[in-house]
Chains A and B, each alone.
Chain A
Amino acid sequence: MTSRPNRQPSRPAVVLTVVVALTCGLAACAPAATRADDAGALDSVSDHLDDSSSAVASAELAVRARAAGRLPAVTADVAVGDAVETATGAVHGIGTLVVATGDADRVRDDALDAASAAVGPVAAARTWLGRPPSPADDVLRALDDASSTLDDASGTVDEALARRVTP
């Protein structure tokens, strides 16, 4: 009877493999909040502002479709509910970013204000959906204003990013 060499991996090797895999996985999935460099942080601010704008635009489309009787009330409620979640997620994302310099800090604060201001109109849209039918003009105007504020904030972030690229 021949004895086969023991091909079982040693325990430390298995532990090391698992630790490396978990570390790589965590590093890959780590939130943008841990980015240390300002350019990276501003990139994240820009991404979160895009999310916020997307949420406002989704809510606007849903309200318009509901006001025109083209979207069932329950579906519109889900669409705007999802938009509220995205908008609040963007506020959380910007608020938890770490920035190093004062300049980037100011840009981040302005973006945070714009993203926070967008949550109210989106939430108000959901309230409007839950009420008896009424004109959607005020809700749409508030969403439009929020959208403009977000566009301005995005512009400021883009300018700050451009300043970093072009000394």
Chain B
Amino acid sequence: MKSRLLTVALGILTAIGGFLDAGDLVTNAVVGSRFGLSLAWVVVVGVVGICVFAHMSGKVAAVSGRATFEIIRERLGPTTAGLNLAASLAVTVLTLIAEVGGIALALQLASSVDHRLWVPVAALAVWLVLWRVKFNLMENVTGLLGLALVGFAVAVFLLGPDWGDLAAQLVPQVPVQESAAVYWYFAVALFGAAMTPYEVFFFSSGGVEDRWTVKDLATSRLNVLVGFPLGGLLSISIAACAAIVLLPAGIQVDSMSQLTLPIAEAGGTLLVAVVIVGLVAATFGAALETALSTGYTLSQYLGWSWGKFRRPVHAPRFHLAMILALVVAVGVLMTNVDPIAVTEYSVVFSAVALPLTYLPILVVANDPEYMGEHVNGRVMNLLGTVYLVILVVAALAAIPLMIATEAGG
């Protein structure tokens, strides 16, 4: 009983620590510094959505013993699954580029060494961990270290804001100095950041790596329903820090270093150090997850042997796919592209790919051939359908809004 509780607690803690990635960090800080907390509602909508679909894909893995993407190909055929693969893979590689850039920027904060020098080091470290470290250890260490981002929540309290003012900002409204188009552009970006496609593929493939069965459904549900919302609260606390310190000073976030300024004001050097550890861990953990997701989706679609539970020699193409994705990430970042700009674009393109990613999961979760008695109930189907409508609207609006607002101007 004691060890079961420990497993559940560990799962929840790693879900919280592993929830945030470069997209969440940057987008929430940018939004907080420009809109205060008036877009916090989008985080809530995004967190409920990711809970719905992560729970579904986890259930598919636990019940069928197979990862979602394997079943999608079998159930929907190679053409539809191929479209899904193309969209998910493109967005996941873009996200991987953002995460590797994020690690480099976070390491720059701790060393003052230019991030471009850290990029190959970061990618090599990611590859070594993927190659040598066991799945559970990798997931737990990065997830637990990522909990250091609780420093943002601590900072909100230490800053001692006027809570009434802060609560008043929660009302959805377009600030006077911003246009409605820019407001909705960032709403879509924030939604894309919260519901990044790789998260569900990683969650379901991770379930297979961890050998989940129907008995683990309750644990999986707790991880999702407790861990993700608490991770969402951390997202909002990043926006709150920016809203309290950066917004009144007229600072618009365009670099990761600006995230440390409210923390320094609130808690001084020690809290800054803790948050930098959290930034490195969160981006490193997300880089591992996105790299794995490229290997998972490609291998599961093409029927290759996959998984970290197999030795690399028994899943060579799975590991090769991850290495290639990392090489692409390093290559792109070495062109001197701004990692923050890549991150901002990655969350918007995530929004574009969302329906292609999530519709097949809803289809598979309703197929009795795979799910037996565990097919979705009415509530899950209602939520899933409502979210699909939101996903389609967000996907259709993303590119026009990006063009109209010059990517948030």
Contacts and interface: CB of A to CB of B under 8 A. Distances in A.
Interface of A: 28-29, 32, 47, 50-51, 53-54, 57-58, 60-62, 65, 69-75, 77-79, 81-82, 85-86
B108 interface: yes
Contact of B261 (A28, A58, A72): A58
A127 B296 CA distance: 48
B258 interface: yes
A47 B409 contact: yes
Contact of A53 (B110, B250, B265): B250
B249 A74 contact: no
B interface, how many residues as a size bin?
20 to 34
A69 B406 CA distance: 39
Contact of A79 (B245, B257, B407): B257
B125 to A, nearest CB: 20
Q: List the 4 closest A-B pairs by CB distance, nearest first.
A: A82-B255, A79-B257, A74-B112, A65-B264
Interface in B222-274: 245, 249-252, 254-255, 257-258, 260-261, 264-265, 268-269, 272-273
A140 to B, nearest CB: 14
Interface string B267-311: 011001100100000000000000000000000000000000000
A72 B252 contact: no
B109 A78 contact: yes
Contact of B260 (A50, A53, A79, A81): A79
Contact of A51 (B252, B257, B268, B402): B252
A72 B111 contact: no
A61 B265 contact: yes
B218 interface: no
Contacts of A32: 406
Contacts of A54: 250-252, 254
A88 to B, nearest CB: 13
Nearest to A147: B250
B363 interface: no
A155 B295 CA distance: 53
A86 B265 CA distance: 22
20 contacts: A32-B406, A47-B409, A58-B251, A58-B257, A58-B258, A61-B245, A61-B261, A69-B268, A70-B264, A73-B112, A74-B111, A75-B110, A75-B257, A75-B272, A77-B112, A78-B108, A78-B109, A78-B112, A81-B112, A82-B254
Contacts of B108: 78
Contacts of B264: 61-62, 65, 70-71, 75
B129 interface: no
Identify whether the interface residues of A are mostly helix, strand, loop, or mixed: helix
B403 interface: yes
Contacts, number: 83
Contacts of A69: 268-269
B261 A65 contact: yes
A32 B108 CA distance: 30
B22 to A, nearest CB: 16
A75 B254 contact: no
Contacts of A73: 112
Given A70-B268, A74-B111, A51 B250 contact: no
A28 B276 CA distance: 35
Interface of B: 108-112, 245, 249-252, 254-255, 257-258, 260-261, 264-265, 268-269, 272-273, 276, 402-403, 406-407, 409
Most B CB atoms within 10 A — which of A54, A75, A77?
A75
A125 to B, nearest CB: 13
B67 to A, nearest CB: 31
Contacts of B255: 79, 82, 85-86
A73 B273 CA distance: 12
A154 to B, nearest CB: 10
A79 B258 CA distance: 6
Contacts of A61: 245, 249, 251, 261, 264-265
Most B CB atoms within 10 A — which of A51, A61, A62, A74?
A61
Nearest to A31: B406
Contacts of B403: 28
A71 B110 contact: no
Most B CB atoms within 10 A — which of A53, A69, A74, A86?
A74
A53 to B, nearest CB: 5
A119 B311 CA distance: 54
A150 B234 CA distance: 35
Nearest to B177: A50
Nearest to B271: A70
A73 B112 CA distance: 9
Contact of A28 (B250, B268, B402): B402
Given A47-B409, A50-B252, A54-B251, A78 B269 contact: no
Given A57-B251, A58-B257, 12 more contacts: A50-B250, A54-B251, A57-B250, A58-B251, A61-B249, A69-B268, A69-B269, A70-B264, A70-B269, A72-B269, A72-B273, A75-B276
Most B CB atoms within 10 A — which of A50, A72, A74?
A72
